[in-house]
Amino acid sequence: MSSTAPPFAQPRIEPSTKRVRVLFGGKYVVDTKQAKLVWETPFYPTYLFPTSVLDPSFLRESSDHKPEPDVKFYDLVVGDHEARCAVTEFTGQGSDTKDLAGLLKIGFSAANAWLEEDERIYIHPKDPYKRVDVLQSSRQVRVALHGVELALTNRPRLLFETGLRVRTYMPLTDVRVDLLVPSDTTSECPYKPTIFTFSCPTGTYTEILWYYRTPQPECGQMTGYLAFYDEKVDVWVDGEKQA
């Protein structure tokens, strides 16, 4: 029997109450209120759909992937647009996937856009069992690397996210940006669509902090703020060094 709160045994499957649309090649290849939230891993859910919601004319059996007993692979094709091996159909033949029989998955990055109702989502659906809170704080936070101070602030904003460590965000003016070199690395998440990372020439570590310019409403207070990977630098909070 599945738990009613995370972490879940995998796969965890529950119906979504949202209208979900998938845009590809100028067409909504999926437009349904029958989507399933599925936790294939304990960290976040993805959307799976009954096979009936995707017009088979958009599918072409994939030649890029060897057949497997419990899944079938298809290319997603709309006119001249194609995403190879983008669709996985679960047959239910394998013991690990029998609960997914009759469902299919579209690779999130293969589509041009995903929408819940009329709002675009990024990377994967937001986990309904996770909460994100941003709180203004007056704690003093100091960050250093190899003895060089990189940041000192008395006005951090703390991000609390269910199941994850607390992250400290600092105003740009409280960070030694003159010591930082932009990295080519970017990444995305459902709450913070575009994250830019930075390197530091004073040590051997790279990509030690990040910031984002266009956060989602849950994290709107973080616009223009920076956060360090505490795992890569030395951090003191109110004079106490953090482990």
Q: Is 116 found in the same domain as 142?
A: no
- pLDDT for res 95: 66
> Three-state SS across 122-167?
CCCCCCCCCCEEEEECCCCEEEEECCEEEEEECCCEEEEECCCCCE
Q: Is 212 found in the same domain as 115?
A: no
Express each pLDDT in 90-111 by its tens digit.
Answer: 987 766 778 899 999 999 999 9
Q: What's the whole-model pTM score?
A: 0.72
Residues 191/216, Cβ–Cβ less than 8 Å: yes
Q: Is 42 found in the same domain as 141?
A: no
**Burial letters 66-79, b for 16+ CB under 10 A, else e:** eeeebbbbbbbbbe
Give the pLDDT band (50/70/90) at residue 200.
Answer: confident
Domain limit, last residue, from 61, 89, 121: 121
Q: Residue 68 has what DSSP assignment?
A: B
Give the pLDDT band (50/70/90) at residue 72.
Answer: very high
The least confident of 68-82, 118-132, 194-208 is: 194-208
- pLDDT for res 45: 93
- pLDDT for res 33: 97
**CATH code assigned at 221:** 2.170.150.40
- Give the H/E segment covering residue 42: none
Kindly tell me if the per-residue pLDDT of 11 is higher than 90: no
Average pLDDT rounded to a whole number, residues 126-131: 88
Average pLDDT rounded to a whole number, residues 37-59: 93
Give the pLDDT band (50/70/90) at residue 38.
Answer: very high
Domain limit, last residue, from 92, 121, 150: 121
Q: Is residue 2 in a domain?
A: no
Express each pLDDT in 152-166 by its tens digit.
Answer: 999 999 989 888 889
Q: Give the domain extent around 201.
A: 132-241
Average pLDDT rounded to a whole number, residues 11-25: 95
- pLDDT for res 1: 35
Kindly tell me if the per-residue pLDDT of 197 is higher than 70: no
Q: Is 172 found in the same domain as 116?
A: no
Domain limit, last residue, from 121, 153, 184: 121
Kindly tell me if the per-residue pLDDT of 210 is higher than 80: yes
